């Protein structure tokens, strides 16, 4: 066993999923939130993951009840941190927000307590010194719907103790994640370092009117055997995120993509979530039997 | 019915596959080769596709025999072109080679005869004028193992008659291909416009020592549900092609990739074909049951 007493700082979508899966795997987990309101929202999310996880693993009611017992909520950081082995920070992607939290943590936490960030956009080295213990800090990145997209990318910063990443290989397995070792700092970790250029290459063909989204997806699906092409993935990710990624990229193509995605958002086509994006849901064309045959 | 009497110029891997699938689909097909030796090699390839196609479609011996009857071989271009509806040029990727063939074709062929190129690296506009009938010419690009990777990308050049591409939508279906319309010229068509950046993004993580190939593949497979990640695909494509693509790209990363791939080739690790590449074959680790679980 590696870390047993876990604090998850932040009960948003991923924070609540990480907390739930850790509690489900027998860890003693406390979700810390800034306010009673944020904890209420975290509880509502946990109730959703409870259903999804039970369906996914076909797990027993007993395990569901045990998980509930393992899961605690508090706005009191001092009591949350008492005797904590590990803090997983899943706060909004803002340096000042994380800095404020880490500085509070640094004052209170026991010297043994390890702290990691789930940030997907900020490298560990940007944040490490705020924690007061940069050698006990690294990046630890989850995909969405973590029971299914169960990779946990482990990324040391420049000051991380070289023996620390290996403990997260074990911890990841304990909470049913597949550990993926990122050997040094890389913006976007592994997944986004590949996914973003992939979505860009599909988008290029679309906005430059070389081919239609459905044909682009079909070509990729037939050639690689993948269940989705770039446009189906964009529908899943959601147009707001696709817009942000492109808007932040100064290339001419990305700016054109941002403009076209903005028009889709304005028309209410934000992807799976709104029932329409590049496909119509719940039965998108790319999942039809004949999509790959005609 | 669109085109019935077909000439396939060049009996290499793809030429012989295109010829076989066309004959299999009831077309009257002649493989034209420059020499008796090249036709002998084409016949040997056809014998392999015959087995593969029959296994793939579970087709009858009768159909196999009919296909044989539909398939002819000649070194005599004049007799091959007599009354031909369509010529599919699948010669080596060299402008002078194709130019010489097209000029011979232009002198002999009936005015009705349409001609297309399977070139994956030369745009139709580079070649069109050599044919003497640029309005009756377009790019028509197949994937490998065309009975399985059955896309046929249709790409008009600047002078292509606007009504011509649609006839290839029908023709593609007649020979059991899925037509993919590329609306204007694009180097790499659709598939390679996506596949090359995808393989590059994985290679970047590898040669810059950010992550190991198996971890990179695993991350992609879990996140997207794909049956292969970039390194499994490179093994399938073969290191010689991977080397060529990277060697031709002046970026620092591609040059590093080319160097590492060269070392693999020198060590006999050229991918699936040699039994070893990034994985060992015939039972590569990425196909093992627990690969995505640990």
pLDDT (tens digit per residue) in A115-161: 999 998 899 999 999 999 999 999 999 988 899 989 999 999 999 99
What is the structure's pLDDT at B32?
Answer: 98
What is the structure's pLDDT at B79?
Answer: 97
DSSP class of B137: E
Ranges of residues in chain B with a pLDDT under 70 are: none
User: What percent of chain A shows pLDDT beyond 90?
Assistant: 94
What is the structure's pLDDT at A144?
Answer: 83
**Pair A175, A198 in one domain:** no
**Pair B155, B205 in one domain:** no
ipTM: 0.91
Judge whether A253 is closer than 8 Å to chain B, CB to CB: no
Q: How far apart are CA A183 and CA B53, in angstroms?
A: 44
Residue A32 reports pLDDT greater than 90:
yes
Confidence of residue A31 (pLDDT cuts 50, 70, 90): very high
Judge whether A195 is closer than 8 Å to chain B, CB to CB: yes
Which of B205, B293, B294 has its CB closest to that of A193?
B205
Domain boundary among A181, A202, A225: A181
Q: How far apart are CA A78 and CA A205, in angstroms?
A: 53
Judge whether A169 is closer than 8 Å to chain B, CB to CB: no
Tens of pLDDT along A246-266? 999 999 999 999 999 999 999
Residue A294 reports pLDDT greater than 90:
no
Q: How far apart are CA B184 and CA A211, in angstroms?
A: 8
Tens of pLDDT along B11-42? 999 999 999 999 999 999 999 999 999 999 99
What is the structure's pLDDT at B144?
Answer: 83
What is the structure's pLDDT at B220?
Answer: 96
Query: Please, which residues 128-147 of chain A have a Cβ atom closer than 8 Å to chain B?
Result: 143
Asked, for residue B204, whether it belongs to a domain, the answer is yes
Tens of pLDDT along A91-106? 998 999 999 999 999 9
Q: How far apart are CA A270 and CA A293, in angstroms?
A: 28
Q: Nearest Cα to B140, choosing from B193, B108, B179?
A: B179
Judge whether A86 is closer than 8 Å to chain B, CB to CB: no
Asked, for residue A186, whether it belongs to a domain, the answer is no
What is the structure's pLDDT at A226?
Answer: 96
Asked, for residue A110, whether it belongs to a domain, the answer is yes
Which of B183, B197, B215 has its CB closest to that of A211?
B183
Counting the structural domains of chain B, the total is: 2
CB A255 within 8 A of CB A246: yes
User: What percent of chain A shows pLDDT beyond 70?
Assistant: 100
Mean pLDDT of chain A: 96
CB B270 within 8 A of CB B239: yes
CB B127 within 8 A of CB B159: no
The CATH number for A220's domain is: 1.10.1040.10
DSSP class of A238: -
Q: Nearest Cα to B82, choosing from B22, B11, B30?
A: B30
Asked, for residue B186, whether it belongs to a domain, the answer is no
Task: Tell me if A219 and B153 make a contact (CB, 8 A cut-off).
Answer: yes
The neighbouring-strand residues paired with B8 are B31, B88
Domain boundary among A161, A181, A201: A181
Q: How far apart are CA A21 and CA A29, in angstroms?
A: 10
**Angle (deg, nearest 10), helices A36-57 and A13-24:** 60
CA distances from A232 to A213, A240, B269, B280 (A): 9, 15, 35, 32
What are A23's two structure tokens?
């509690």
Asked, for residue B187, whether it belongs to a domain, the answer is no
Residue A1 reports pLDDT greater than 90:
no
**Pair B228, B154 in one domain:** no
Residue A167 reports pLDDT greater than 90:
yes
Chain A: closest CA distance from residue B167 (Å): 15
Q: How far apart are CA A132 and CA B113, in angstroms?
A: 77
């Amino acid at each position: 066993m590696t870390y047993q007493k876990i604090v998850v700082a932040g009960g948003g979508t991923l924070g609540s999923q990480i907390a739930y899966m850790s509690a489900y795997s027998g860890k003693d987990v406390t979700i810390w939130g800034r306010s009673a309101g944020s904890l209420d929202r975290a509880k509502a999310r946990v109730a959703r993951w409870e259903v999804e996880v039970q369906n996914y693993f076909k797990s027993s009611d007993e395990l569901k009840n045990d998980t509930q017992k393992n899961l605690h909520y508090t706005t009191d950081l001092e009591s949350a941190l008492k005797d904590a082995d590990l803090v997983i920070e899943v706060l909004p992607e803002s340096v000042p927000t994380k800095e404020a939290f880490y500085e509070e943590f640094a004052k209170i936490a026991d010297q043994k307590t390890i702290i990691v960030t789930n940030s997907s956009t900020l490298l560990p080295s940007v944040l490490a010194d705020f924690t007061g213990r940069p050698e006990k800090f690294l990046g630890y990145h989850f995909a969405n719907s973590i029971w299914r997209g169960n990779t946990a990318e482990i990324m040391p910063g420049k000051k991380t103790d070289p023996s620390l990443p290996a403990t997260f290989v074990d911890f990841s397995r304990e909470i049913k994640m597949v550990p993926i070792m990122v050997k040094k700092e890389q913006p976007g970790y592994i997944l986004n370092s590949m996914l973003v250029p992939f979505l860009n290459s599909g988008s290029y063909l679309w906005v430059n009117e070389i081919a239609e989204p459905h044909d682009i997806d079909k070509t990729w699906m037939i050639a690689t055997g993948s269940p989705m092409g770039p446009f189906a993935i964009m529908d899943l990710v959601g147009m707001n995120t696709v817009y942000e990624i492109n808007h932040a990229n100064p290339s001419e193509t990305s700016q054109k993509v941002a403009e076209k995605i903005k028009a889709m958002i304005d028309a209410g086509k934000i992807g799976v979530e709104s029932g329409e994006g590049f496909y119509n849901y719940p039965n998108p064309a790319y999942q039809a039997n004949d999509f790959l045959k005609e």
